[in-house]
Structure 1
Amino acid sequence: MKKSVPHLGLLTALALAGCTSTKPTAPTNASTTASAAPVAATAPDPKGVGLDMADLDRSVNPCDDFFQFSGGNWLKNNPVPSYASSWGPRNLLGNRTQDLLRKILEDAAANRNAAPGSNAQKVGDFYASAMDTVAIDRAGIAPLKPELDRVANIRSLANLRTEIVRLQELGANVFFNAGVDVDEKKTTQYAVQLYQGGITLPNREFYFKTDARTEKVKAAYRAYMTQVFGLLGTAPTVAQLDAATVERIETRLAKASRTPVELRDPQANYNKMTVAAAQQRYPVLDPKGLLAGMQLGKAQEVIIGQPAFFDEVNALLKTESLPDLKVYLRWHLVRSVASTLPTPYAEAAFKYSQALTGAKQQAPRWKRIQAATDSYLGEAFGQLYVDQAFSPEAKAKALEMVGNIKASMAEHIQTNTWMSAPTKAEALKKLNALRVKIGYPDVWKDYSALPISRESYAKNVLAARLWESRREAAKFGGPIDRNEWGMTPPTINAYYNPPMNEIVFPAGYLQPPFFDPKADDAINYGAIGGVMGHEMTHGFDDQGRQYDSEGNLRDWWTPADGAEFTKRAAVVGRQYDAFSPLDSVHVNGQLTMGENLADFAGLTVVYGALEKQLQQRYGNGPRPKYDGFTPEQRYFLSWAQLRRTNIRPEALRQQIATDPHSPGQYRTIGPLMNMPQFQQAFGCPEGSKMIRKPADRAVIW
């Protein structure tokens, strides 16, 4: 996953781009299976750690469908739970992690003697306030009333702009997103950034598509708004009119928004102008007053992500009536905190999400609140998690793996056959400058200025959002904080951050089955190693390659090399465009380009690292088999088993429309179909379904 800077310091880890393929090298000691018959385990081989042989579907030929072969029985025996939209190994690890975090949180909530202002007090009080549904239902909308009153009391355009600032600081993100993040073309300083936003549906496409499935989602969206307005005391007929008003305004915003594919162009999203120029172009929005209200008045420049979108925001504020704009603000305020309000509000929000994901019921409340606590106070109780779940030995092993993979990537760059010497030198410079963060921050976030009590869950959430917005604004003008993390320690994920040129792996991801110190090298390299290679090569995918060794958005490629990269990446795009998991639904090869390239390159680079590790360990001697599989076969099985996923059709359609990651089955087989290493490991003859013809293969690095 790649952290995308345009989300303005919200530290949202978004789908990243990036990867490279490498010139294939033949695996040593690969399987000598000559036929494409299903691979059978042989009795004399010892049992390995990390793969459950019962999960394999040996009735399927691995050379025909490796996704089914590697995990068909697991897929059959692990249907999606009623409260989930998809299900895979990450969910199982998530359950284990949540059980540990739940104990930490419940212990903190039970401790009424924690020192006032301490992390323990804040974590315990936050969790206790959120779990007290009796108090939440009894309080009704009262905790939100001061904010609702502010919206109701808007009497002028000036009042409206003041309230836009307030709602931006409270995380409602009305009309657009705003914040402070690293300047992508001058990464030694922070910049104020404005980015498109302000809509409820997942992206702009949902407002204009008219197929039956999209219309079902839009009907749920309208019902959600109507129900919430009704809960706020609006008469039924007026509630329907208010919902229509919100949809009309959001449709204007959606029409002016860039598509998900267009948003993948970092150069197009970088439009720096002086605040004075922005003020002249968007006078009704009043950027100067907006920034002053957000405590960013000293900014002289601002980066506008999508200038034409802000033209429409400016026009909308001028042409829409004040009452209609107030309806829009009211909706987004309540929607942003629906989960903190009485049960009917949370249930209304869930009904809408059902249309998007297909989930049958809500997750248990403690799981939802654990996720919320992680979101707002993640580093406070993340410290307790690290103490219990992540050893110094595990960190050392992970760092060793990253070092080996980095060395393999350097070799792939050096031996690349189509890249010129100047571009190779820049690529190696970038790789050598890559920063690696493992486990948890060196410097923990300081929550001392954030007030948290047991009085109200909604008030705690609003306080946490306001605190985070002002903490972010305070960074402007100061030195870049390179100790900051965009994910909390328990997070089961990882990311690459282009302007910081760093890869980050939280402790939550460095757990079995993704990382197991007891497993053999092939398992760890195929699992967490694949993730490490994926994140590392994000720096060289179609987006990441546009940033240099210092993280600046700068073209360091020769024109010929850039053109050759684009040509080779286009092969990957066409391959994924052809994948169709549902009738009339195809993967979007452009939207998923970066993640696919990161899978391609990462898997190839990490394979090279594993081969070096095996050579060091066993030399030219025999390499042990476990469960009847060679290390090379176990490497590919490990990669595949961690991407097996059952997913509801509704969620799959939404993923393809909005997510830069391809569905699990194609992340599994897409890269392997291009790798001679896979073909040799499983002895797949030419013409097998899993094997592309040499002329059709995608080869980048």
Structure 2
Amino acid sequence: MKNKKLPRLKPVAVLCMMLALPLGTSLAHAADMTPEEIAAVKGDGIDNSVKPGQDFNKYANGGWEKNAKIPDSKSGVGLFDMLAEESDDAVARIIQKTLQAEPGTAARKIADYYQAYLNTAAIDQRGLDPIQPRLDAIAALNDKAALATYLGRNLRADVDPINATSVFTENLFGLWVSQGFHHHAKYQAYLLQGGLGLPDREYYLANSADMVKLRANYQDYIATVLKMANVPNAEIAAKRVFDLELKIAKGHASREDTSDMQKVDNTWRKVDFNKKAPGLDWNAYFAASGLDKQTEFLIWHPTALKASASLVSSISLDTWKDYLRFHSINQRASVLPTVFFKEKFKFYSALSGTSVPEAREKYAINATNNALGEEVGKLYVAENFSPEAKESIRSMVTNLLAALSDRIQNNTWLAASTKKEALQKIKNTYVGVGYPEKWRDYSGLEVKANDAYGNAERASAFEYQRALAKFGQPIDDTEWCMNPQLVNAVNMPLQNAIDFPAAYLQSPNFDLNASIATNYGALGATIGHEISHSFDNTGAMFDAKGELRNWWTKADLARFNASAKALVAQFDQYRPFPDLAVKGQQTLGENIADLVGLMASYDAYHAAMKQKGQEPTEATDKEFFMAYAKSFRSKVRDEVLRTIVITNEHAPEQYRVQTVRNLDAWYKAFDVKPGEALYLEPKARVKVW
């Protein structure tokens, strides 16, 4: 939900996909950080010239921020980036060991995938030969029925609107297979909007000078790609391709509507598609996609589906063929001749502010993680996650669940029936710590030692077939959607499950030798954040089984919505640029999770200290809040900051730190007075739960 899976991350995953960067990290990935830089990120970094009540982020992190430098290949640096760097370093060491593995072993498959991706000389030597069969198939399309078949054959399971808040795909539509909204006992097919090359509809529709310039540069980039692919009249073709994408974008749903469970809950029968969304030969599409045996689909973006289907009919076949040529190359630029990747980076780096790409090894690690994630993860946890750490974190999870249960039990305005449902939901929550109980089987994925393009295609098709294979099978509520080596965490409402990958459970987020206050301020707040997503504006719509059902009384829901509205207003006031403000409604789910998670973690840290026979003090409270603020330590380029504000469900980190202004204990710990910028009157401090 709402990317609650990214509690501390810099949320630019779309850009990462576009540039084939690590999805679990970000374009701010801090490769090659020196020991001194890592120590600086972990250090105090306080700016004593700023009062905590004026700007708590500047107070806690301003000293570090003044001295932090963003390398040319990065769009930012920070604590999360340091964790991502350490995870990548660990994976790099693991991959080096696999290079000695015997042929036919799982370890050898990892090595072959990595080495093939790394071998740019072989990739350059082959030119466009690997992708030529696809380009030939596009050229051979002779009518709209053939186009529908092609589109269906290339549908992929490349979106996840709830667990990863991933709604970007260059394919016309994206598929997600998960538990049904209303039928938890069976897997359902979800179809989402897609088809764009820019991150979001706003990039096509906004009229600012920067966006107008960006669109012109994008059209030039399309022309460059088509010209390199020997497409005649590339400039004219590029104009047609861009105009088609503009039409697709106009039909797209907004980010706010994409996160509204009432608006995305649209079940269509397969037999009704031709009537509800005319223009696309749906029978041909479903037959080619392998979805022809499914009788019902949940359509996440019905308006977009209808608009795009209509465009299949109204736009010329030649335009569609040029569109498919461009996107086929754009999606695989990293495993095509280097010139294609260079051109792609030159354009998309404008969205991140970077001037040079990462080392090829970084891209190779990312690609290997994406293709063989749990195979790599199995080796990662063996070396990087101790049983002692797992046991200690499980204890923290238990305390956080108890703290939130107590908050609900002691709530004075919830009806007894609503409390009962909420408490049952907490009781039923599955929590995964470090790694999944069952590992995925990659034996069916063919990897060739010198076929980077083919490996990428086969990995994508393998994942798609894995998704299709779920239909008719028993539901697995313990399945993970993230790799253990990913610096992340996730709440999965349809499974009523929460997972914490091992790479996130590292110092300074968690340290066996750190104080209780520090661990709860950092990791505890994340655990609380993820649990609280079960009760944010999205999660609160799902019951203990993971089904979409209203279990609230009318009065309780009204009270909840009133608190949510106050939080929206609070975040609407934050303005990182004179012409751009944070979108309180778009970021509401994450802001609720931050607030409730922090409150629950504060309660849990007090309880944990008392369990150890210790009494919390004002000093330990300060330690708790400082650990929370430092967990968001970050410095990003303006280009990325704009992208976050426009497209993401998270508010920028500096504003998430200011969540503390809603907790009474923070005022006491830092002696915050009326008249200071962050001061809120007690009645104005938002309390959701």
Q: Given the two structures, how large is their TM-score scaled by the length of structure 2?
A: 0.91
Moved more, 549-558 or 154-163: 154-163
Aligned-pair CA distance for 1:283: 4.5
1:202 equivalenced with 2:199 (yes/no): yes
Once the 2 structures are TM-superposed, how far is the Cα of residue 54 of structure 1 from its aligned partner? 4.2
After superposition, the C-alpha distances for 1:32-60 in whole angstroms (9 at most, x for unaligned) are xxxxxxxxxxxxxxxxx999554111222
- CA positional deviation for 1:288: 3.3
Q: Supply the AA of the counterpart residue of 1:653.
A: R
In the alignment, is the contact (CA less than 8 A) between 2:76 and 2:634 conserved in 1? yes
Secondary structure in structure 1 of the residue aligned to 2:344: helix
**How far apart are the structure 2 equivalents of 1:131 and 1:664?**
34
1:636 and 2:636 equivalent? Answer: no
Distance 2:475 2:328 in 1: 32
Please give the alpha-carbon distance, in whole angstroms, between the structure 1 residues aligned to 2:610 and 2:573. Answer: 38
Contact 1:2 1:535 in 2 (8 A): no
Equivalence for 2:684: 696
Task: State the shift of 1:223 in Å.
Answer: 2.2
Q: Distance in 1 between matches of 2:517 and 2:527?
A: 14
Q: Deviations over 1:361-418 (max 9, x none)?
A: 1111111111111111111111111111001111111111000000000000011122
Q: CA deviation at 1:636?
A: 0.5
Counterpart CA distance in 2 for 1:4 and 1:269 is: 18
State the partner residue of 2:178.
Answer: 181
- SS of 1:268's partner is helix
Q: Matched residues in 2 for 1:72 and 1:280: separation?
A: 58
Q: Is the 8 A contact 2:120 2:337 kept in 1?
A: yes
Q: Does 2:636 correspond to 1:647? A: yes
Checking the alignment, whether the CA contact within 8 Å between 1:87 and 1:647 is kept in structure 2 is: yes
Superposed displacement of residue 227, structure 1? 1.2
User: Which amino acid is the alignment partner of residue 641 of structure 1?
Assistant: K
1:415 aligns with 2:378: no
1:24-39 maps to which residues of 2 (within 5 A)? none
- Give the Å deviation of 1:551: 0.6
Specify which of 399, 406, 409 is matched with residue 404 of structure 1.
399
Q: Which amino acid aligns with 2:557?
A: G
Structure 1 stretch displaced more, 361-370 or 294-303: 294-303
Q: Kindly indicate whether the alpha-carbon contact (under 8 Å) linking 1:273 and 1:303 is maintained by their aligned counterparts in 2.
A: yes
Q: Does 1:219 align with 2:216?
A: yes
Moved more, 610-619 or 269-278: 610-619
The corresponding residue for 1:430 is 425
Structure 1 residue 13, shift from structure 2 partner: 9.3
Matches within 5 A, 1:114-513: 114-116=102-104, 118-169=105-156, 173-235=170-232, 238-513=233-508
Cα 1:205–1:119, aligned 2, differ >3 Å: closer, same or farther?
same
Cα deviation code 1:340-381 (max 9, x no counterpart): 111111111111222111112111111111111111111111
Q: Is the 8 A contact 1:104 1:384 kept in 2?
A: yes
Q: How many residues align?
A: 649
What is the CA distance between 1:180 and its match in structure 2? 2.1
Question: CA 1:250–1:97 in structure 2 vs 1: closer, same or farther (change >3 Å)?
Answer: same
Report what 1:612 is aligned to: 607
C-alpha distance in 2 between matches for 1:53 and 1:321: 59
Q: Give the secondary structure class of the aligned counterpart of 1:485.
A: coil
Question: Match of 1:64, as an amino acid?
Answer: Q
Aligned partners of 1:219 and 1:369: how far apart in 2? 31
CA distance in 1, matches of 2:427, 2:603: 18
Aligned CA distance change for structure 1 residues 204 and 601 (closer, same or farther; 3 Å): same
**Aligned partners of 2:278, 2:590: CA distance in 1, in Å?**
39
Question: 1:539 matched to which residue of 2?
Answer: 534
CA contact (8 A) 2:258 2:301 kept: no
Distance between the aligned counterparts of 1:634 and 1:660, measured in 2? Answer: 28
Partner of 1:261, secondary structure, is helix
* 1:89 corresponding residue in structure 2: 79
Provide the rounded CA distance (Å) in 1 between the counterparts of 2:643 and 2:265.
Answer: 28
CA distance in 1, matches of 2:487, 2:657: 19
Q: 1:666 aligns with which of 629, 639, 655?
A: 655
**Structure 2 residue identity aligned to 1:62:** P
**For residues 322 and 443 of structure 1, what CA distance do their matches in structure 2 show?**
46
Once residues 117 and 540 of structure 2 are traced to their aligned partners in structure 1, the CA distance between those partners, rounded to angstroms, is 43
Q: Which has the higher contact order (CA 8 A, sep 6+)?
A: 1
Match of 1:550 in 2: 545
Alignment check: 8 A CA contact 2:518 2:627 kept: yes
Counterpart CA distance in 1 for 2:442 and 2:377 is 13
Whole-Å separation in 2 of the counterparts to 1:135 and 1:560: 65
The CA deviation at 1:219 is 2.5
Report the 3-state secondary structure (helix = DSSP H, G, I; strand = E; otherwise coil) of the residue aligned with 1:328.
helix
Alignment partners' CA distance in 2, 1:469 and 1:13: 20
3-state DSSP class of the match of 1:482?
Answer: coil
* In 1, Cα distance between equivalents of 2:333 and 2:672: 53
Aligned partners of 2:326 and 2:278: how far apart in 1? 25
**Counterpart check, 1:65 vs 2:55:** yes
Q: Which runs of 4+ in 1 moved over 6 A?
A: none
Match for residue 686 of structure 1? Answer: 674
Task: Report the alpha carbon displacement of residue 2 of structure 1 after superposing the two structures with TM.
Answer: 4.6
Q: SS at 2:191's partner residue?
A: strand
**Displacement after TM superposition at 1:656 (Å):** 0.2
The one-letter code of the counterpart of 1:81 is P
Flag the 1:232–1:51 CA change in 2: closer, same or farther, 3 A.
closer
Between structure 1 and structure 2, the one with the greater Rg is 1
Whole-angstrom distance in 2 between the partners of 1:312 and 1:269: 16
Contact 1:490 1:506 (C-alpha < 8 Å) held by counterparts: yes
Deviations 1:539-563 (A, max 9, x none): 1001110001111011110011111
Structure 1, unmatched stretches of 5+, are 6-11, 15-48, 624-628
- Give the residue type in structure 2 aligned to 1:303: L
2:524 maps to 1:529: yes
- C-alpha deviation, 1:461, in angstroms: 0.2
For residue 606 of structure 1, report the CA deviation from its aligned partner: 0.6
CA contact (8 A) 1:3 1:13 kept: no
SS in 2 for 1:195: strand
Which whole-Å CA distance do the structure 1 matches of 2:252 and 2:314 have between them? 18
Contact 1:261 1:590 in 2 (8 A): yes
What is the alpha-carbon distance in structure 2 between the residues aligned to residue 55 and residue 574 of structure 1?
30
Partner of 1:588: 583
Note closer, same or farther for the CA distance 1:51–1:74 as it changes in structure 2 (3 Å cut): closer
Which runs of 5 or more structure 2 residues have no equivalent in the other structure? 6-11, 15-38, 159-168
* 1:126 counterpart letter in structure 2: Y
Contact preservation (8 Å) 2:115, 2:450: no
Deviation (angstroms), 1:77: 2.0
| Identical-residue share of aligned pairs (%) | 35
Report the Cα offset of residue 468 of structure 1: 0.7
Q: Give the 3 Å change call, closer, same or farther, for CA 83–367 of structure 1 in structure 2.
A: same
The letter of the residue matching 1:506 is P
